[in-house]
Structure 1
Amino acid sequence: MKKGKKIAIGVVVVAVVAGGIYSVTGGAGGGEQVPQVTVTKAATGDVEEIVDATGTVVSDEQKTFYSPVNAQIKNVSFAEGDSVKKGTKLVEFELKDLERDNTKAELNVKSGQYDYENTINKSDQAEQKQNDAKAKAGSLEQQVKDKENYIASLKSQLASVQAQAAADAQAAAKAQAEQAAADAQAKAEEQAAQEAEIQRAYAEALTTYQNKTLPDYQKELGELNTAYVKAQSDYNQADTAYQMAFAQWQADSSDENAAALEEAESTKSQAEIDCQQAKEAYEDKKANAPKMPEYSDYSNVGQKDFVTDGTGESDGDFSDQGTGTTDGTTDSVTASVDTSGIENAIEQASSDLAELQSDLATQKSIAEADATSLTKEEKEKLRITNNLTELDAKSAKELVAEGKKGISADFNGVISKSAVQQGATVTQGMELFTLQSTDEVSVDINVSKYDYAKVKAGQKADITIGDKKYTGKVTKISHIATTNEKGSTLISATVSIDKPDEDIFLGVDAKVKIYAEKAEDVVTLPAGVVNIGKSGSFCYVLKDGVITKQDITTGISSEDSVEITDGIKAGDEVIEDLGSLEEGMTAEAAPAEGDSAAATGETADE
């Protein structure tokens, strides 16, 4: 049952008649007396629900402070439990180590910037070199083709001249043989054979030079050039890797990065040595190009002296004369042609071709080699690494500023959970202390299951802490119920204090009176006349002199009054106390206190 409400209990109602006491069932004259009951009239008024609760004073705002730097504590100006004002400097730091770290970080930024620019420039140069090589290779391919066609034309011309020279020599020998003796004929034939042998030997040497010696040389030169280009590419890659490792080591000089830098430097040194050796091998081979054979080198092949009659002999030189002896006279026959110009042109063209083919191989190797320029991702990684170094420097500078600023109170409050000592060394992120605000204070309360539906956010409240009173309002209601040690269901709520002052202590108990709903100008009854049964609320009324049970619908209620929304209207008489009477019995309303004397006087007269 609600507090203040009751179910009717029996009482004895007595009447005073002619100086005697009569029960409600008899009188002096023996006639039946009608019992009287005290009634109250339903009135119109205001009803306000009030919910009482107790709780604990807590801070609405608290902040845990952490060390912003790695430094030594220079000064601590508080102890746990102290009250501090907003803006008070609570902790000061030593700055020497922070300023040294800031200087180191700034130097690392400059070094990293130089490394970044140098690596990017080398990458751009390598990329440009490769692009230029691709363009040159196309031009050199056409030049090689043109030079090969030119050499083929010269060889054809030389073969034609040599063939004509041979034919002319044979014709001259034949004419001399016809005019000379048989031995002269034999000598001329031998001379032609020797000349043919010279031409055959020269042609064979020339073919060997063109088909084997020169191609083998060009192939070997190309292989050496390819090896040189690859060694140069390996060196560029090793240098790039070293620059990146150096930049990474500057950003983070850990043992792992230091080891990686040392390995990159060793690889770069070895690659530089290999590149120099490959270059020297290529230059040596290029300087010792094979010489094209000359026709004059084979002029004595197969030559011998001719003696016919002991009076004439040959000196072995058939390039410009022929001799024969028949009758003691000697005739001279021209049987040679000068091919030195064509031969020199072929030699020069072949040398030029070898040079072009070497240059072509070089440019192709450069163009087709693995790119030593940085990829887009590698450039981005270098940029990020450089940015990280700049951020580290910025952080170091900011840490110096944080160290100079120290730690100050953000609001008025009380220090709790202090773990800081003067002279101690703290690390960044280490918890130092907690500050609980005394400007924003509330009371945490628990509301019973009978009252929680009445409590709503925004409702006003009176708070009593010790002997001081404050005003406030409900700011939060939990939607999760808890159970206390007695098994009762409770709902937690928060009541904020409007104007907390220095007399408030956190953690103490407080009494709270919440002004819940209020109904104005409604029908009300005293709380004591409203009963609660299994089927709802009811009261007893006198209806035509008969005690009647009246079902009613109630609204809000206070300690003294209950709002009646249905079943009773203003002015209706409601029995205050049924006593031993029961529903359906006849009764009459007892006179009001002001009418008691008059009623008693009338009874006495009778």
Structure 2
Amino acid sequence: MFSKKKKEQDEILDTIDTDMTGDESSFELEDEEASKPPKKKLPGWVIIPVAAVFIIIVAVASQLSKGSGKAKDATLQVSSVDTGNIKEVYNASGKIESENTKTYYSPVSAPIKKCSAIVGSTVKAGDVLITYDTTNLERDNQQAQLTLQSSLNASQATKAQNAKAIDAANAASSQAAEQANKLADKVNDLAGQLDAAYAQNESALSTVQSEIDANNASREKLQEEIDQYTAVMTEQQNIMDRVNAGYNGRRAEADAAKAKDPTLTSLTEEEKALVKAFEDFDKAQAAYTEAKTACDKATADLNAIKDPEYSNTEYAELKAAYDAAYAEWEAAYNAANTASADAGMTSSEMANLDISDNLAELSALTPAELVAKGKEGMKADMDGVIASVDALQTNAATQGMAMFTIASTEKVRVKIEVSPDDYEKMKVGNKAVITVGEFKYEGTLKKVNKIAIENAKGNPVIGAEIHIDNPDENICIGATAKITMTVAEANDVLVVPTEVINTSSDGDFVYVIEDGVVRKKTVELGTASTTQIEVKSGLKKGEKVVNDLNVDITEGMKATPVEKQEADASAEAVKE
């Protein structure tokens, strides 16, 4: 550690330091690291000169110390803790882009007469950029008008013929109506006769139906008996099938065992089972035969039931005469009411005729509109810059063909890339100053992406967009712009110069001089600018903090404070 022994040494060192550094200058932060409080160290641009001066001072101090038998306190520059306003500024650069780029498409197919769109040129809303040769469009329009007139004439002729047909049909309809009225009397007379015959027929049918109902009841009863007999036959057949399956071919053996002892008491269990099985077989066979006989009889009885037949020839003939008369009347009536409609065109046909007229009018209207659009040409509908011109590739345009593209200069933005470390500072709504050459504009942060991607250098960056609030004719799309954005602000807070802040593993701290002794004080920092930083806690207004870059400071060393402004003034006087 270098210690100054005499006041003269202090004055010489301060003079040299002031002469080397000159007046304090401000600078803008370019990234987050620059916005952090600097550590206690010499600026890079003074390291080499100061090292040389340091060696000279050491030699001078060594000579001076020989004549002094007593150590002297170091003289350290200090700055006062004061209140002030701080703005943290974020600097970046980006590319100016249009927020509204529009491609214009040709409304017509026609030769291009003149193209005034030139890439890079500025245009105003309403400027005519493309004009057409409308000769072909006018010819097509004339042909369409002639086609329209021909279609309308044909439609009028068809309607006149339809009117004549309707008149003739109306006359025929009157005759048919008279004939229908005569036939109606005959139909009404036959209807009265048919009603009387129907009543008689219904009585006879009722008697026949009663007999049929009785037969159906007998059929149901016999069918139930047949189902019961069938169930018994199935059950007995199953018993016989089981015996045959278990004792097939052993009938004689069973009969011999039973003949040997009809009481079965002396027979073996196997013999008893054999005799019992064939006894069951005989009983099942007898029951099966009995059930089958009864089932066959019930089936024969069921098949023997016959329903009575009924026919009324008189009623049938009368009904046929009525139906024929009614059909004759109905035909005459329909002829009377539909003759005029059938002779003329239907409502759908008339509607289709009107549709054809409308389509012909629309077909004629389209060429007329195209002529109007062709004569109007293509105009810009916004202020901007011509970004591309496709019309230069050909002398003729087709409908829907891309002609040129305009990038609006009324709505523009600057796209920047932000380090992920600075993401938290990017708040939508932050105000910015945009500098393009000698021109300055106001801007507002409108968008910050939610994902970081690698840029061309492989570094992760987050895209952001700053809207230019007051663009003018000097805006150049694609140009590089410098951005100065206020990202934090603190007013009426305690502030100190940024260079007095020191950093260790325990946190941030400053040196102060209390009763002639250097002490460390831990501080909590806030918003920082390029020259000052906010102190949230650890210091009070008016306290003196060491602000001396030319001396190694250690806690506990003895020192005499001198205001930095006074030291700078003293050094300037020596330099002069």
Q: Give the TM-score normalised by structure 2.
A: 0.53
In structure 2, what is the Cα distance between the partners aligned to 1:75 and 1:362? 75
Q: Which runs of 5+ in 2 are unaligned?
A: 1-32, 43-50, 195-316, 571-576
Partner of 2:107: 68
How do 1:33-48 residues align onto structure 2 when only pairs under 5 Å count?
37-48=76-87
Number of the residue aligned with 2:481: 510
Give yes or no for contact 1:133–1:367 (8 Å, CA) kept in 2.
no
For 1:303, the equivalent position in structure 2 comes to none
Total equivalences in the alignment? 392
Q: Which residue does the alignment assign to 1:7?
A: 39
Contact 1:116 1:383 in 2 (8 A): no
Q: Secondary structure at the match of 1:591?
A: strand
Residues 134 and 483 (structure 1), Cα distance of their counterparts in 2 relative to 1, 3 Å cut: farther
**2:534 is aligned with 1:492:** no
Relative to structure 1, the CA distance from residue 358 to residue 36 in structure 2 (aligned partners, 3 Å threshold; closer, same or farther) is: same
2: CA distance, partners of 1:508 / 1:405: 34
For 2:563, the equivalent position in structure 1 comes to 592
Partner SS, residue 499 of structure 2? helix
Write the letter of the residue equivalent to 2:331.
Answer: A
State whether structure 2 residue 61 is matched by structure 1 residue 20. Answer: no
Matched, 1:54 2:93: yes
| Structure 2 Cα separation of the partners of residues 86 and 79 of structure 1 | 15
Deviations 1:553-575 (A, max 9, x none): 33322111112233333212223
- Residue 549 of structure 1: how far off its partner (Å): 4.1
Equivalents in 2 of 1:99, 1:595: separation in Å? 90
Residue of structure 1 equivalent to 2:187: 145
1:448, 1:491 within 8 Å by CA — same for their partners in 2? no
Q: Is the 1:473–1:496 Cα contact (8 Å) retained in structure 2?
A: yes
Determine if the alignment matches structure 1 residue 79 to structure 2 residue 111: no
Q: Report the CA distance between 1:433 and its aligned residue.
A: 0.7
| Inter-partner Cα distance in structure 1 for 2:153 and 2:496 | 88
Amino acid at match of 1:7: K
Paired position in structure 2 for 1:232: none
Residues 151 and 524 (structure 1 numbering): CA distance in 2 closer, same or farther, change over 3 Å?
closer
Q: Per-residue deviation at 1:379?
A: 8.5
Match of 1:501 among 473, 477, 497: 473
> Does structure 2 retain, via aligned residues, the 8 Å contact 1:459–1:514?
yes
State whether residues 35 and 528 of structure 2, in contact with CA within 8 Å, keep that contact through their aligned partners in structure 1.
no
Letter in 2 for 1:571: G
Corresponding letter in the other structure for 1:472: E
- Residue 430 of structure 1: how far off its partner (Å): 0.8
Counterpart residue number, 1:168 = none
Q: State the distance in 2 between where 1:474 and 1:460 align.
A: 5
Quick one: structure 1 residues 486 and 422, their matched pair in 2 at CA, closer, same or farther if it must change by over 3 Å?
closer
Amino-acid identity (%): 29
C-alpha distance in structure 2 between counterparts of 1:384 and 1:587, whole Å: 108
Q: Deviations over 1:178-211 (max 9, x none)?
A: xxxxxxxxxxxxxxxxxxxxxxxxxxxxxxxxx9
CA separation of 1:549 and 1:67: change in aligned 2, threshold 3 A: same
Deviations 1:202-240 (A, max 9, x none): xxxxxxxxx9xxx99x99xx9xxxxxxxxxxxxxxxxxx
Partners of 1:382 and 1:568 in 2: CA distance: 96
Distance across 1 between alignment mates of 2:453 and 2:179: 86
Unaligned runs of 5+ residues in structure 1 are 153-210, 223-352, 600-606
**RMSD value over aligned CA atoms?**
5.3
> 2:433 and 2:420 mapped to 1: Cα distance?
21
SS at match of 1:428: coil
Partner of 1:564: 535
The one of 406, 412, 416 aligned to 1:435: 406
Kindly indicate whether the alpha-carbon contact (under 8 Å) linking 1:137 and 1:360 is maintained by their aligned counterparts in 2.
Answer: no
In the aligned structure 1, how far is the partner of 2:454 from the partner of 2:354? 60
SS at match of 1:559: coil
Alpha carbons of structure 1 residues 415 and 494: separation in structure 2 relative to 1, 3 Å: same
Q: 1:211-222, aligned counterparts within 5 Å? A: none
Which residue is equivalent to 1:160?
none
- Structure 2 match to 1:97: 136
Residue type of the alignment partner of 2:37: K
Conserved? CA contact 1:113–1:386, under 8 Å = no
Residues 368 and 523 of structure 1: CA distance in aligned 2, closer, same or farther (over 3 Å): same
Q: Is the 8 A contact 1:447 1:493 kept in 2?
A: no
Distance in 1, matches of 2:177 and 2:540, equals 109
CA distance in 1 between partners of 2:426 and 2:462 (Å): 12
Q: In structure 2, how many angstroms separate the alpha carbons of the residues matched to 1:528 and 1:117? A: 102
Question: Secondary structure at the residue paired with 1:361?
Answer: helix
Structure 1 counterpart of 2:96, which letter?
Answer: V
CA distance in 2, matches of 1:40, 1:375: 105
Structure 2 distance, partners of 1:455, 1:487, is 18
Q: Residue 498 and residue 15 in structure 1: after superposition, are their counterparts in 2 closer, same or farther (change >3 A)?
A: farther
Q: CA deviation at 1:497?
A: 6.3
Q: Report the CA distance between 1:405 and its aligned residue.
A: 0.6
Q: Secondary structure at the match of 1:404?
A: helix
For residue 38 of structure 1, give the secondary structure of its aligned residue in structure 2.
strand
> Structure 1, residues 78-109: CA drift from partner, whole Å, max 9, x if none?
43333444433211112233334444555666
**Cα distance in 1 for residues equivalent to 2:192 and 2:514:** 142
Closer/same/farther in 2, CA of residues 49 and 144 from structure 1, 3 Å limit? same
In the alignment, which residue of structure 1 is the partner of 2:389? 418
Relative to 1, partners in 2 of residues 1:53 and 1:17: Cα closer, same or farther, differing over 3 Å? closer
Q: CA deviation at 1:543?
A: 5.4
Alignment of 1:352-431 (within 5 A): 358=328, 360-364=330-334, 390-421=361-392, 424-431=395-402
Greater Rg by CA: 1
- After TM superposition, give the deviation of residue 67 of structure 1 in Å: 0.1
Indicate how the Cα distance of structure 1 residues 138 and 362 shifts in structure 2: closer, same or farther if over 3 A, else same. closer
User: CA–CA distance in 1 between the matches of 2:540 and 2:348?
Assistant: 87
1:47-103 Cα deviation digits (max 9, x unpaired): 122222112233344321110112221222343333444433211112233334444
Kept in 2: contact 1:133–1:364 (CA 8 A): no
Q: CA deviation at 1:452?
A: 4.4
- Measured in 2, the distance between the counterparts of 1:66 and 1:420 equals 10
